[in-house]
Structure 1
Amino acid sequence: MSKARDRLKALGPGVITGGADDDPAGIVTYSVVGATTGFSLLWLMLLATPMMIAVQSMASRISIITEKSLPEVITAHFSRRVTMSVITLLVIANVITIGADLSGMATVLGILTGIKPGLLLIPVTALIAYLVIFNAYRVVKTALLSLTLILSVYIVSAILIHPNLETLLVNTFIPHISFASGYVVAALGLLGTTISPYMLFWQAAEEREEKRTVVQAAEADFDTVAGMLYSNVVSYFIIVAAAAVLYGSGVPIQTMEDVALALQPLGGRYTFALFGVGVLVAGFLAIPVLAGSSAYAIADTYGWREGMDYKVADARGFYAVFLGSLLVGDLIYLSPLSTVDALYYSQVLDGILLPLLVALLLILGNNKGIMGSYTNSWFNNLFGIFTLLVSLGLSAILFYQMVF
């Protein structure tokens, strides 16, 4: 009993990372996947769970064993040029996702309140910045952990729809593969939002904040597994709900209201309000993680002081990147992209970046000079390599279809 209690107390970076994965971009992506491909990608969602656990575990353990961040480890064993290339792509993907998430939150608030979304964008951004900058990391962590529970509303909604159980099981356990462009984009978007690059940098950085030691690696693994399982259970049921309500309906997903239809059985005429609460919670959970992962990555690359336990005056570069990410993200609202398109395609970009990061993690995690006796387990290597091959293959197919 005491061991179980200790493990529950140890929950933190993994659970927060898993909850943040179901951000507004994730909610929209999974909804689009369900609406456009039905139940046919549920098998990939199931398979993505061990893939996600393996990749996150590699990033977490590398940070714990080396007592360094991912940028520091990559720079030490490759070069600063490699680190800068990875970080540049990461920050671009993060800023687009932040902008899409902020736009989604402002759009939802605008519909709920009747106020023009553009007028709500800055207040939402300021509130997020305030929560992170003027509260200690421990307070932020507690708030983020409690917010993850609200995302279970999507599980309840999917169950109340009563989807055909036989169809659900067949599509979950038997792969349905298609090379149609829409299917490939949906699959890449699903992987990109499930195994998001920013999650790797965030959790690795937070393991340092937690100051876990080598002997606590098992706690970190339990935290990672718990967070990823919860995240993907929610994601699975978002796809199920969207597929049951929207697939084959002929209704294109162009607005946040279209996505909210997936919650109709649960919310009735209050569907959008229920959906809106989920989007807002997911945004407040994920945007600090997105901006924080960029801030940690850049600060560690240049050797700046970093961490949410520091005051602004003591870690100016770190907080400058954090605030800059939010402000640049606000500019996405002014772009011609619709909120849904920005949310969806930002995750496709993450899917294209994923193979590079997984390849680096596999090399680092299997290097005995770095990891000593804590090199990758067979599980991490098996599903890490599988993640690399699948994401690389999907990216190659998408590139071929775009060019030819």
Structure 2
Amino acid sequence: MIKWLRNIGPGTLIAAAFIGPGTVTLCTIAGVQFGFNLLWALTLSIIATIVLQDMAARIGIITNKGLVEVIKENIPSSFLRKLVLILIISAVIVGNGAYEAGNISGASLGISAVLGQKFSRFYPLIIGTIAFGLLFIGNYKVLERILILLVLLMSISFILAAVLTKPNISELIKNAFIPTFPDQSLLTIIGLIGTTVVPYNLFLHASIAKEKWQMKEDVSIARKDTIISVILGGLVSMAILISAAAIGTGSVSNIIDLAKALEPVYGSSAKYLLGVGLFAAGITSAITAPLAAAYVANSCFGWNAGMKDVRFRLSWSVILVIGVVFSTLKFAPIEIIKFAQIANGILLPLIGMLILWIVNKSSVLGTYINGWFQNILSVLIILITVVLGLKSILKVIELL
């Protein structure tokens, strides 16, 4: 246990990345509209995320390379290699720039819940400055420890809020494992899974895992880190849904509305609990999204740059500035987000298939290739991501 505690880190960053304001809002809406009925979608998301992230981390540790580097080396066709790289850059870098505004806006909303609206126009700039400072330090260990603290703060806030609602435990267990499909719930199910199984997290995990661990024997420690961290992140998502389900129907569209709805029953503590949780969720994602984009750019262009390299810093700075500007101006970059959704809808199953192909190549991973059970799980998950990707694309082009 002491050895594991010393090695904890990369998995927690992945949990920090997928529990952002978008996930918080979607879980809130799912709970208000469908009660506990969609908890099973989060259980499925946890399993899928563990399987995919474990493979990505294993590739990073065994090869000591970023995921993009390994993909480039193993695609023989020059045309296909360039096509994949263009798609990765488009989906991860451009997409993260668009979604970064949501991360910063979410963190700002959390501050507003605690400190009030008086200086709200300055909150995005404050969040951006904090994220810039942490990223500029360029020290992975410092960044890791700060994010772990923020994730713990977020977890305590949301889980405590769920406990306060005193949910029916037997109902929770039943809905967490038995799938149901209430009317009009399909897009919400897709959203719950899609906000947890995130393509850019695969690139991020491979890159930070190779920095954290250099020994092949560390794969088992990395797997424990992934499993525990992703389950914790999934429990946070479930806690938000459970809290929202407690109020039944109502005009709730985000976590702050949920805090207001719970306030008559649980007092002003609900506002502060959920506000602090949303702030932590927003700022962790506001850090990890630019970081992931920088790692992808680093691998795509073959820079082999460290975190203090000017090119690396410039990459995450661009994403961060876009996010701050969009958030400050209250500008919703609809067209960019639509493009990002289409690209991600294609990217996730594509990257999933490429990762599955690579983790079955003994020439790359040696004895650390997938076993038969891992392959069965992986194939099922990739099939699900194909369906989700198609649905996401159809939704964006307004054919669904």
TM-score, normalised on structure 1?
A: 0.87
2:58 is matched with: 61
Q: In the aligned structure 1, how far is the partner of 2:106 from the partner of 2:186?
A: 25
How big is the shift at 1:338? 10
The answer to whether the 8 Å contact 1:28/1:343 transfers is no
The answer to whether the 8 Å contact 1:43/1:171 transfers is yes
May I ask how many residue pairs the two structures share in their alignment? 389
The answer to whether the 8 Å contact 1:54/1:380 transfers is yes
Q: Could you give the per-residue CA deviations for residues 194-235 of structure 1, whole angstroms, max 9, x where no partner exists?
A: 111221111111112214221211111111111111111111
How big is the shift at 1:350? 5.0
Change (3 A) 1:266 1:138: farther
Change (3 A) 1:348 1:87: closer
Q: In the aligned structure 1, how far is the partner of 2:119 from the partner of 2:59?
A: 45
1:203 is matched with: 205
Change (3 A) 1:235 1:33: same
How big is the shift at 1:266? 8.4
Q: Is 2:30 the partner of 1:33?
A: yes
- Give the ranges of 4+ consecutive aligned residues of structure 1 lying more than 6 Å apart after TM superposition: 342-349
1:306 is matched with: 305
2:314 is matched with: 320
Q: In the aligned structure 2, how far is the partner of 1:148 from the partner of 1:202?
A: 17
Aligned-residue RMSD, C-alpha: 2.8
Q: Is 2:132 the partner of 1:136?
A: no
Q: In the aligned structure 2, how far is the partner of 1:347 from the partner of 1:165?
A: 36
1:396 is matched with: 390
Q: In the aligned structure 2, how far is the partner of 1:286 from the partner of 1:148?
A: 10
The answer to whether the 8 Å contact 1:11/1:223 transfers is yes
Superposition map of 1:5-404 within 5 A: 5-78=2-75, 79-111=81-113, 112-134=115-137, 136-150=139-153, 151-177=155-181, 182-245=184-247, 247=248, 249-253=249-253, 255-261=254-260, 264=263, 268-308=267-307, 311=308, 315-333=309-327, 334=329, 336-337=331-332, 353-397=347-391, 399=393, 402-403=398-399
Q: Could you give the per-residue CA deviations for residues 252-290 of structure 1, whole angstroms, max 9, x where no partner exists?
A: 41x552143476488522322221111112222222111
How big is the shift at 1:380? 3.0
The answer to whether the 8 Å contact 1:30/1:190 transfers is yes
Deviates more, 1:16-25 or 1:229-238: 16-25
Deviates more, 1:68-77 or 1:14-23: 14-23
Q: In the aligned structure 1, how far is the partner of 2:298 from the partner of 2:310?
A: 10
Q: In the aligned structure 2, how far is the partner of 1:163 from the partner of 1:24?
A: 23
How big is the shift at 1:343? 10
Q: Which runs of 5+ in 1 are unaligned?
A: none
Change (3 A) 1:115 1:352: farther
The answer to whether the 8 Å contact 2:164/2:266 transfers is no
How big is the shift at 1:291? 0.6
Q: Which runs of 5+ in 2 are unaligned?
A: 76-80
Q: Which amino acid aligns with 1:118?
A: R
Deviates more, 1:113-122 or 1:296-305: 113-122
